[in-house]
């Protein structure tokens, strides 16, 4: 993770500058206050890093990957603001949540503002395919949130429902973050997207009931991720991403 961040430090600095620029509001100063409270609290920034890495790995030399990385982070931040209202959370990233410091209304509306900003950034890339990928991912995230509401405290909720929830809440944006990086770099469709991989992973996990077998399955999918990198040209980022696939399975925190 640290190697990925170091390799992309210059690009990420530009992403952060763009985030600060686009979270501003001429008429509503509370918007940058609430946004800054969450964004500046830290976090790994893994989603935008993956967008940058995918674009660079596919040989991209333009500017749109910066916009897309900021887009992905805005979408993620918007969902966190909404999440904390829905879950009545009191803490996020070791700090009081925005809804606790301000109010629920501010958190919801600032989240809406960030969604609007994210779609503005997408349009600037001029790619309808990028817009389609991230629009579908945003809808999937919302579906996961609503499904979680209906499944909460429901003892009859199945493992399939749980997997659908986490696919929506977590996996969808990670997948889209990687895919749009490849798309903006002009990668062919087969290389940019592993269509159906999330569904296949869900089906495999559903067949394994114990923690150990689930971990073994996760390691197998990490190996599959490394294999998927093989057709890509030699690049330092290729080795870093291969290592990252093992890190996300092995990490404790």
| pLDDT > 70 fraction of the chain, expressed in percent and rounded | 87
What pLDDT is stored for residue 44 in this prediction? 81
pLDDT of residue 165: 80
Is residue 167 helix, strand or coil? Answer: helix
Say which residue the tokens 């977590």 belong to: 170
Task: Sort 89 into a burial class: Cβ within 10 Å, 0-12 / 13-18 / 19+.
Answer: middle
- Whole-angstrom Cα distance, residue 68 to residue 19? 11
- E strand residue ranges, the chain: 91-92, 95-96
Task: Name which residue leads in pLDDT, 48 or 212.
Answer: 48
Answer with the residue of higher pLDDT: 208 or 5: 5
Q: What is the chain's mean pLDDT, rounded?
A: 84
- Residue range 44-70: mean pLDDT, rounded: 93
Query: In this structure, how many other beta carbons lie within 10 angstroms of the beta carbon of residue 202?
Result: 17
The Cα 216–Cα 85 span in angstroms is 36
Determine the pLDDT at residue 203. 56
| pLDDT (0 to 100) of residue 200 | 53
What global pTM score does this model have?
A: 0.82
Q: Are strands 95-96 and 91-92 parallel, antiparallel or unpaired?
A: antiparallel
Say which residue the tokens 């809440």 belong to. 169
pLDDT at 21 over 90: yes
Q: How much is the average pLDDT of 210-218?
A: 65
Q: What is the pLDDT of residue 180?
A: 95
Which residue did the predictor score with more confidence, 168 or 181? 181
Residue appearing with tokens 């798309």? 183
Is a pLDDT exceeding 90 seen at residue 188? no
pLDDT value at residue 76: 94
pLDDT at position 133 is: 95
Q: Which of 235, 205, 231, 229 is nearest to 217 (CA)?
A: 205
At residue 192, the pLDDT reads: 56
Domains by residue range for the chain, with CATH? 2-250 (1.10.600.10)
Structure tokens at 213: 């077998």
Render pLDDT for 122-153 as a digit per residue (tens, 0 to 9). Answer: 999 999 999 999 999 999 999 888 888 877 77
What does the pLDDT average to over 224-241? 83
Pick the range with the lowest mean pLDDT from 42-46, 179-183, 189-193: 189-193
- 88 Ramachandran zone, left/alpha/beta (phi>0; psi -120 to 50): left
Phi, psi of 127 (to 5 degrees): -110, 115
């Amino acid at each position: 993770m640290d190697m990925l961040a170091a390799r992309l430090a210059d690009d990420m600095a530009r992403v952060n500058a763009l985030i600060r620029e686009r979270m501003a509001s001429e008429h509503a100063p509370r918007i940058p206050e609430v946004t800054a409270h969450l964004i500046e609290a830290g976090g790994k920034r893994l989603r935008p890093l993956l967008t940058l890495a995918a674009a660079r790995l596919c040989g991209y030399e333009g500017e749109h990957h910066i916009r897309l990385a900021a887009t992905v982070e805005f979408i993620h931040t918007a969902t966190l603001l909404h999440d904390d209202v829905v879950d009545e959370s009191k803490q996020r990233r070791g700090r009081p949540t925005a809804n606790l410091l301000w109010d629920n209304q501010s958190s919801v509306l600032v989240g809406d503002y960030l969604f609007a900003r994210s779609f503005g950034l997408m349009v600037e890339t001029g790619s309808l395919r990028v817009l389609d990928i991230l629009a579908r991912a945003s809808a999937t995230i919302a579906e996961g949130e609503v499904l979680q509401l209906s499944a909460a405290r429901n003892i009859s909720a199945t493992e399939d429902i749980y997997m659908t929830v986490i696919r929506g809440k977590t996996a969808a944006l990670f997948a889209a973050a990687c895919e749009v990086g490849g798309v903006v770099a002009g990668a062919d469709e087969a290389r940019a997207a592993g269509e159906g991989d999330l569904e296949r992973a869900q089906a495999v996990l559903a067949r394994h009931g114990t923690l150990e077998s689930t971990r073994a399955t996760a390691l197998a999918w990490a190996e599959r991720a490394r294999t998927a990198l093989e057709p890509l040209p030699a690049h330092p980022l290729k080795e870093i991403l291969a290592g990252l696939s093992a890190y996300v399975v092995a990490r404790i925190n």
